[in-house]
Structure 1
Amino acid sequence: MALVPYVENSSPLLSKFHSASAEFQFRSHRVTVSQDWRTHGVAAVLWDAAVVLSVFMEQGGALDLKGKRVIELGAGTGLVGIVAALLGAEVTVTDRAPALDLLSSNVKSNLPPGCEGSATVSELTWGQGLERFPPGGFDLVLGADIVYLEDTFVPLLETLEHLSSDATAVLLACKIRYERDTRFLDLLRQRFLVEEVLYDQQRDIHVYQARKLPDPRAEL
């Protein structure tokens, strides 16, 4: 997730981002994620897409996560990865280096001893150092509100391709704010089979599931 400097804004629409934390009840667990808009901007606040994707997973919209290998991209506060771990997945929660302290703190404080799954935090800048992650090594790739900067589209697609096998599911939750967001989906469809699996009208959040298209060269 790109880091944008904090700019003072009195808009009531942004007031929730200025709160120090956000709390959720997840089954028998209370999940509390800290936010730090002032220091790290958009990378350190909880966006609606993360909430919608977490609820979608909790309600069984994703594959059974118990024992599955999951990676979250641009994790920010880490809510999505935390929920995946509480559902039993082995999760790698990733973001760029400046976001890792807050992310690590949230993951550590919200995964109790004996948690069904586990989560580790790792630095990942899209398109860079991908050899550190096993190619096609994940059952599920998650991303909440990571489609918004056009300069990141190519490295994001490269990262999704590297992490995915033909059996990997990719779940992306996002708003479609601008024409460029639609262009990203068009690019994604060139490499993945994409379908919309949920639209949350109240929050205006789309959830897309993508699966890698077979490589035609493999048939030669």
Structure 2
Amino acid sequence: MGIRSVSRKATKGFNLIPFQLLHEDSQSRDARLCYTLPIPGSPKLVLTQRVDNCADLKDFEICNEYNIDNTGLVCQWPSEDVLAYFCLSHADIFRSRRVIELGSGYGLAGLVIAATREALEVVITDGNPQVVDYIQHNVDANSEVFGDTKVKSMTLHWNQDEISNLSNTFDVVIASDCTFFKEFHKDLARTVQCLLKNVGSSEAIFFSPKRGDSLDKFLEEIKETGLHFSVTEYYDAEIWKRHQGFMKGDHDWPGYVKDHCYPVLVRVTR
């Protein structure tokens, strides 16, 4: 039937932003989670997302129709947790700047940036219209904590041609775990090149495990677009500490492998 394979969820994560389950509705397939941002004075965020391990035929049909993967529906991925924590810890990066998140899933990182109230605007995007519905719901549910920061959702497909209205618009592009599928590398690199402003200190911030040569192949495409990049393995003491604990087996993450689980920091500039 041409149905794309379902992504497998990561059963564990870095647990950098604690959360608790508020409500789970098996009939609607949704769950509400409350994330407590680990910085004094920061608000809590309530996100609605799909119940774990819940997918049906319609999900796969939409993946086929839009030529996308279903990763955004599966769970909140570990790299998104790391990205959100990094953004919370480096809120000054976004001060008075326009920010866009690509392949956002349920939008945790973008919502965290908005909750710090430093950014001028945060646009949270995904290529899956089902996921974008969840993002918009989460934007609406947390709107009172964003202050003067403008926040909106958007369906953005990396291979779409009609993004001229967004060209040279954003100071910061963020993304997590978006480099796994090599067939999307060229479109993703082109999208980043298009979105970043031509002036000022614009940059893209990616968090992604290396996963064999997948990340390296993406960075080759970044270089082909004329952009520059740096890769940093040690970027935060707490995240590195937890990574080392997982490597030693001191913490509970069965099957933890650095190449597939630990996201490195990639910063892309003009």
Question: Could you tell me how far apart the structure 1 residues matched to 2:230 and 2:184 are?
Answer: 22
- How many residues in Structure 1 have an aligned counterpart in Structure 2? 206
Q: Which has the greater radius of gyration?
A: 2
Superposed displacement of residue 147, structure 1: 0.9
Question: Could you tell me how far apart the structure 1 residues matched to 2:219 and 2:46 are?
Answer: 32
User: Which position in structure 2 is the counterpart of 1:59?
Assistant: 89
User: Which position in structure 1 is the counterpart of 2:152?
Assistant: 120
Task: Please say if 1:106 is aligned against 2:138.
Answer: yes
Question: Could you tell me how far apart the structure 1 residues matched to 2:165 and 2:34 are?
Answer: 31
Q: 1:12 to 1:129 in 2, by over 3 A?
A: closer
Superposed displacement of residue 113, structure 1: 5.5
User: Secondary structure of 1:13's partner?
Assistant: coil
State which of 91, 109, 116 in structure 1 corresponds to 2:122.
91
User: Secondary structure of 2:11's partner?
Assistant: helix
Superposed displacement of residue 19, structure 1: 8.8
Q: Which one-letter code corresponds to 1:33 in the other structure?
A: L
Task: Please say if 1:180 is aligned against 2:214.
Answer: yes
TM-score, structure 1 length as denominator? 0.80
4+ residue segments displaced more than 4 Å: 3-7
Identity of aligned residues (%): 20
Question: Could you tell me how far apart the structure 2 residues matched to 1:110 and 1:145 are?
Answer: 24
Question: Could you tell me how far apart the structure 2 residues matched to 1:113 and 1:24 are?
Answer: 13
Greater shift, 199-208 or 165-174, is seen at 199-208
Superposed displacement of residue 103, structure 1: 1.4
Superposed displacement of residue 78, structure 1: 0.4
Q: 1:58 to 1:114 in 2, by over 3 A?
A: closer
Q: 1:123 to 1:72 in 2, by over 3 A?
A: same
Superposed displacement of residue 159, structure 1: 0.5
Superposed displacement of residue 72, structure 1: 0.7
Question: Could you tell me how far apart the structure 1 residues matched to 2:4 and 2:36 are?
Answer: 29
Unaligned runs of 5+ in 2: 16-28, 60-69, 244-260
TM-score, structure 2 length as denominator? 0.67
Q: 1:189 to 1:29 in 2, by over 3 A?
A: same
User: Secondary structure of 1:148's partner?
Assistant: coil
State which of 42, 56, 61 in structure 2 corresponds to 1:28.
42
User: Which position in structure 1 is the counterpart of 2:66?
Assistant: none
State which of 199, 202, 205 in structure 2 corresponds to 1:171.
205
RMSD of the alignment, in Å? 3.0
Greater shift, 24-33 or 97-106, is seen at 24-33
User: Which position in structure 1 is the counterpart of 2:254?
Assistant: none
Describe the superposition over 1:3-47 as per-residue Cα deviations: whole angstroms up to 9, x where unpaired: 96657x8x993799x993543212431123222152454212211
